[in-house]
Amino acid sequence: MEGRASRQREKIQRKYLQRLEEGHYQNQNRPPPRSRVNKQKGMNGDIHSNSTPCPAAPDTGQIQELEEERKILQQQLSNMPEPAVSEVESRSALIQLAPPEYDQSEFEIDPGEFRYELLLSDKGKEGKYKLVYSGDATEITLKDLKPATDYFLRVCTSLEDLKGKPTKAVQFTTGTCEPDAPVPPKLSSKTKTSITLKWNATCENGSKVTTYMLDYDKGLGDGFVEAYNGLQRQHRVSKLQASTKYMFRVAAINNVGKSQYSDPVAFYTSGSVPNQPDPPMLSEAFVNSLLISWIKRPNEDSFLLQMEDELTGHGFIPVYNGTNLSYKIKNLRRNTDYKYRLAAINDEGQSKWSEAVSYKTLPDRPSAPPKPQIKGKIHAHSFKVVWEPPKDNGGSEITKYIVELNDGKGYEMLYEGSDREHICDHLIPGHTYQVRVACCSAGGRSEFSDPCITTTQAVPPGQCQAPKLQGKPKATSLHLRWSYPEYDGGASITEFAAQLISPDNTSREVYKGRDLDCIVAGLSPGRPYLFQVRAINRVGGGPWSEPLEVVSGAGVPDPPKAPMVICRSPHSAMVNWEAPVNNGATITEYRVEWQHKSDLDFMQLYLGPNLGHEVKGLTAASLYSFRVQAINSAGAGPFSPVATTVTPPSSPSPVIHIRSSATATTIYLTWKEPNCNGSDIIGYNLDIGEKQLISIGAITEYTIEELAPETSYKIRVQAVNGIGVGAFSSPVKVTTRPLPPNPSRLECVSYAPNSLKLKWGDGRNLDLLTYTLEMEKEDGNFQMVYQGTSNSYKINKLQEMTSYDLRLFASNAAGSGPYSEVYTFTTLKAPPPALKAPKVQDVQLHSCFVEWQGCKPVGSDTISYILQLYCRDQDFRQVYCGPESQFFLTNLNPKTDYMLRVCAIRHCSDGSGDVIGAFSPSHTFMTQGHEPISSSDTRVSETKFVEPKQLTDQQCAVIILCAFVFLAILVAILLQQIISWSSGHSNRDEDIL
């Protein structure tokens, strides 16, 4: 209710402002609105005055003036003239409306803005009215009325959201007309020469029916002729032909005219029993069913078909009874004869049975034969296959078999005939084949059997090509390669064999395996050799290939002696060696390789003709290994024995990988210990750009203190050992951070009973400082309540009249600053909550009873209430102050609008004073007037035109539940009917079969 009243007030205010802007309230006879002094109590009982009117919202007097204007306009809308009814016919009438009478000098309204609602009743003046039209038209033609019916018409006028009272009821009566079209006649009885019909009375439409007219078409289809004319509603049409179709229709006539004819209906006269029909015909035959058909002749309504199966011995049994001209008999045996006969049926009885005819179902195609089998031995180029007949021949004998062979490229037909065995020849040795069989009969060809899989016998592989030499032959070995033969004999090649023929015609096998190449060793340098190869499968070895003649190459030199190494400094050495035996070829160059103790393998150091080489760039105090290899035209010989040496120690290596972290006055350094080069590190020197170096011990971390904030430094580190100092590291640039910020002053800018709004700083945070606000808990420790970059924060969920200690500190990239001093702030007393609008009951001429919902006392503080009354051209005045939540208000004026509001006062028991809460929303009411209210008008308005009330949630739930129960019952009844109909239909089908 409060929400709806609030929305109504907002709507009135918007309309008032809109009409002010459009100039609707600018009238010369009215004085301009004057300024009012609006006195309003504050939160703590202070009274504030404001003499300046607020243009954004009208005062209470203007709202009441607008409401009065709405009531006057609603009364004007109720002055609607009665509607004029003309051109009244049997099913229509013309309604003419005139706009309501209103003061055109007071209201500037376009007559086209009015909307009209027509309410019509055919149940009497006090009956229920139905809305038949809503719109702005002033001439309305009502259609689809009932003839010879008394109607009562009322009109209601509305303008936007205002609606007037309906006019008095205007009565008019529609005229009479011809009767309605009768319902088609029904068959009462019939014979071979007559049909008796009867029909129901039709609607007379204000004039009694004087006669009924029955027509029929004589069964010739050349038009209707009259068969009867009178007041009786049944008639016997005689002198008809037997077994003939006749069409009938009926019409009614009164003093106004003749109605339309009813829909025509057809009936047959009785006839004789049908003659003996022709035997049924076979339309189409299937394996397990037959489609039987027959011809329909005149005087035949339905047919009865019977079938006889001689194997069962039951004779003829019915298989179909109906009006169709064909029927498919299912579930029959294949390749079987069945006898059929037919009888025709009409209303007079059943004809004689036709002559019996015999029809046979088709044979089915046979099933697939069993999987074929191999008979006898499988040869390399042929094998014999046999098979058995199928288990099911489909009802007819097998006429032939079809054999198909698949060699990997798809099935191809190999044999077609009546024999059950066949020799498959011209095959490939060692090849896999698939054989399948199908059979044929009068019913068709069967599916193919499962394939029989077999593989022919393999033979030794064919001759390989002569082997080929890979690379140049060496003095004692060479590399041979060969390929697969063109034909593998039908089996996979399992291995290859290679043989060597020496110059003295002796041979030996030098390789046997699956690879396509081999290295033949143990040769003598510069001698001719012959090589052959052959392939081997699971059957055996193929022929040897053509021979390959190869001459072996020269030998490589012998390994040199271990080289001599002389260290000249920590970073260089001289390596010398002697020439080895060349083995028949001049040594062209030497290869020197070396290895550091940290390397995994030897690396090439020198390649050339010299017998010595100087090595530079060595690491001090490190172990090195050297070896030498001689090379001639035959290739590289073996390496010499390894010679080792250790370089002398040296000064440390430069420091690398320096890491740093800085504060405002210190820099923390860490680094990785460099290579000592054979002598332990005893200390480090730090250079920070000043004249004197900082010397420290053999540590890898150090903190430089007493530095200037926000200053850049270039730092270098130097290692020191027993030999001397190493090189400085690369400079590292480090900048110290700024000092942490100082705290700001903490202030409270807003006090409330349950919250405190705090502020600090000057309102700007250009340095993007992070502020942390802490509040002291009951145990004496401080707890963080806010952290962020804002300069203000509101602390909620506090207790009233309680002191809280708070402190603040700021943070930036340099760290957190010091705490501020501890500030103490105290919350206020909480005012009572705002009350709901008061309720007014038992409104009389000069008094009423006011009641409102009170609030609970806070602790030991008591609560009292102030009730204020507002009347037109007055301010709110106090009419009651006390602890009660109700009051009987007297000394009121009759038929006057009043507004009431109430507020609560908290009386503090600690003597700190009273706290006044906010006033409730205003409640508007009007006292009763001296004019008596007509009981009949009140009853009519209450029973006929009461504004519908919105349903509660409980009422909506009950309505939805009832609708659901009704729908469930309806669905259950419908399902029961469907099940009954289905079961009955199934029983009838079973009876027919």
What does 795-857 look like in DSSP terms, one character per residue? E-SPPTT-EEEEEEEEEETTEE------EEEE--PPPPPPPPPPEEES--SS-EEEE------
Sheet arrangement for strand 245-254: 225-230, 209-216, 245-254, 265-268
Task: Spell out a b/e string for 915-934, using b for 16 or more CB atoms within 10 Å of the CB, else e.
Answer: bbbbbbbbbbbebeeeeeee
pLDDT at 327 (0 to 100): 94
Token pair recorded at residue 307: 């079938």
User: Closest Cα to residue 574, out of 615, 534, 544, 530?
Assistant: 615
Tell me, what DSSP letter sits at residue 944?
Answer: H
Q: Which amino acid is at 505?
A: N
Token representation of residue 443? 């019913």
The two beta strands, 495-501 and 877-882, are unpaired
Rounded-to-integer distance, Cα 433 and Cα 405, Å: 7
Q: Which amino acid is at 705?
A: E
What Cα–Cα distance (Å) separates residue 976 from each residue in 569, 599, 972, 980? Answer: 115, 95, 6, 6
CA 437 and chain centroid, separation? 55
The one-character DSSP state at 36 is -
**Partners of residue 281 on adjacent β-strands:** 293
Helices 2-22 & 60-77 angle (0-180, nearest 10): 90
pLDDT at position 192: 83
pLDDT of residue 448: 92
pLDDT one-digit tens code per residue, 33-58: 333 333 333 333 333 333 334 344 45
Question: How far apart, in Å, are the Cα atoms of 449 and each of 388, 391, 398, 434, 735?
Answer: 11, 12, 15, 11, 91
Q: Which residues are bridge partners to 434 per DSSP?
A: 406, 453
Please determine, for residue 743, whether its predicted confidence score (pLDDT) is greater than 70: yes
Give 654-695 pLDDT, tens digit per residue.
898 889 988 888 899 999 988 888 888 889 998 888 767 888
Calculate mean pLDDT across residues 547-567. 84
Specify the pLDDT at position 946.
38
Task: Give me the pLDDT at residue 17, please.
Answer: 54
Q: Which two tokens stand for residue 171?
A: 């009565």
Contact 272, 281 (CB under 8 A): no
Please choose, from the candidates 685, 683, 688, the residue with its C-alpha nearest in 3D space to the C-alpha of residue 715: 688
Q: 240-275, pLDDT tens digit by residue?
A: 888 788 899 999 999 889 999 999 998 888 877 888
- Sign for the CA dihedral angle at 422, 426, 431, 437 comes to negative
Judged by DSSP in three states, 97 sits in: coil
pLDDT of residue 33: 35
Higher pLDDT, residue 635 or 806:
806
CA dist., res. 819 & res. 740, Å (int)? 12
In this prediction, residue 411 carries a pLDDT of 92
Lowest mean pLDDT among 445-449, 600-604, 735-739: 735-739
Q: Rg for the chain (alpha carbons), in Å?
A: 62
The CA-atom distances, in angstroms, between 822 and each of 372, 748, 799, 806, 988 are 106, 13, 20, 5, 101
Residue 13: per-residue pLDDT: 52
- Taking the CA of residue 364 as centre, how many other CA atoms within 13 Å lie in the half-sphere pointing to its CB? 15
What's the mean pLDDT in 116-120?
89
The pLDDT of residue 66 is above 80 = no
Tens-digit pLDDT profile for residues 9-23: 455 555 555 554 554
CA distances (Å), 711 to each of 331, 736, 816, in order? 107, 5, 20
Exposed (0-12), middle (13-18) or buried (19+): which is 249, by Cβ within 10 Å? buried
Cα–Cα distances (Å) from 688 to 196, 660, 701, 712, 834, in that order, read: 134, 13, 15, 10, 73
Could you give the CA distance from residue 574 to residue 597 in angstroms, rounded to a whole number?
A: 18
- Tokens 């918007």 locate to 14
Mean pLDDT calculated for residue range 105-109: 69
What local confidence, expressed as pLDDT, does residue 103 receive?
67
Q: Which amino acid is at 879?
A: V
For residue 929, the SS3 value is coil
Higher pLDDT, 935 or 148: 148
Task: Name residues whose C-beta falls within 8 Å of residue 481's C-beta, 6 or more positions apart in sequence.
Answer: 467, 468, 469, 470, 516, 517
Q: Show the tokens assigned to 769.
A: 């400082």
Distance in angstroms between the alpha carbons of the first and the last residue of the chain? 74
Render pLDDT for 469-488 as a digit per residue (tens, 0 to 9): 998 888 788 999 999 998 88
Take residue 853 and report the two structure tokens written for it: 């919902």
Cα(755)–Cα(786) distance, rounded to whole angstroms?
14
Beta strand 862-871 with 877-882 is antiparallel
What is the widest separation between alpha-carbon atoms in the chain?
157
Provide the percentage of residues in the chain whose pLDDT is more than 70.
89
In degrees, rounded to 5, the angle at the alpha carbon of residue 526 between the alpha carbons of residues 523 and 527 is 65
Two tokens at 454?
A: 């077999």
Question: DSSP state, 313?
Answer: T
What pLDDT sits at residue 450? Answer: 93
In terms of C-beta density within 10 A (0-12 exposed, 13-18 middle, 19 or more buried), how is residue 66 classed?
Answer: middle
365, 290, 362, 280: which is closest to 330 by C-alpha? 290
Over 70: is that where the pLDDT of 917 sits?
yes
Position 235 scores a pLDDT of 94
Selected residue with higher pLDDT from 49 and 952: 952
The Cα 21–Cα 4 span in angstroms is: 26
| Distances 403 to 385, 425, 449, 454, 733 between C-alpha atoms, Å | 10, 13, 10, 15, 94
Q: What pLDDT is recorded for position 15?
A: 55
Provide the mean pLDDT of the chain.
83
Residue 953 has pLDDT above 90, yes or no: no
CB 270 within 8 A of CB 326: no
Could you give the CA distance from residue 292 to residue 358 in angstroms, rounded to a whole number?
11
- Closest to 90 in 3D by CA, of 170, 181, 209, 172: 172
Give whole-number Cα distances, 293 to 176, 319, 492, 494, in Å.
59, 13, 68, 74
Burial class from Cβ neighbours inside 10 Å (0-12, 13-18, 19+) for residue 555 reads buried
User: What is the Cα–Cα distance from 824 to 813, expressed in whole angstroms?
Assistant: 30
Q: Decide if 214 contacts 185 (C-beta within 8 A).
A: yes
Banded model confidence at residue 447, pLDDT cuts 50, 70, 90: very high
Q: Are 738 and 749 a contacting pair, CB within 8 Å? A: no
The band of 340, judged by pLDDT with boundaries at 50, 70 and 90, is very high
* CA 261 to chain CA centroid, nearest Å: 61
Mean pLDDT of 945-954: 53
Please compute, for residue 596, the number of CA atoms within 13 A of its CA located in the half-sphere on the CB side. 12
769: nearest Cα among 740, 809, 738, 810: 810
Query: For residue 403, what pLDDT is reported?
Result: 93
Q: Sorting pLDDT into bands at 50, 70 and 90, what band is 124? A: confident
Beta bridge partner(s), residue 478: 520
pLDDT in tens, 392-437: 888 888 999 999 999 888 999 999 998 999 999 988 888 899 999 9
Give the Cα separation of 513 and 171 in Å (integer): 124
Q: What is the pLDDT of residue 105?
A: 65
What is the pLDDT averaged over residues 853-876?
86
Residues pairing with 422 in the sheet: 385
Q: How confident is the model at residue 106 (pLDDT cuts 50, 70, 90)?
A: low
Beta-strand pair 245-254/209-216: antiparallel
Coil, strand, or helix at residue 232?
A: coil
Three-class secondary structure of residue 936 per DSSP: helix
- Four-residue CA torsion sign, 955, 957, 963, 968: negative
Whether residue 385 contacts residue 465, with contact meaning beta carbons closer than 8 Å, is answered with no
Burial of 296 per CB tally in 10 Å (0-12, 13-18, 19+): middle
pLDDT tier at 583 (50, 70, 90 boundaries)? Answer: low
Average pLDDT over residues 527-542: 89
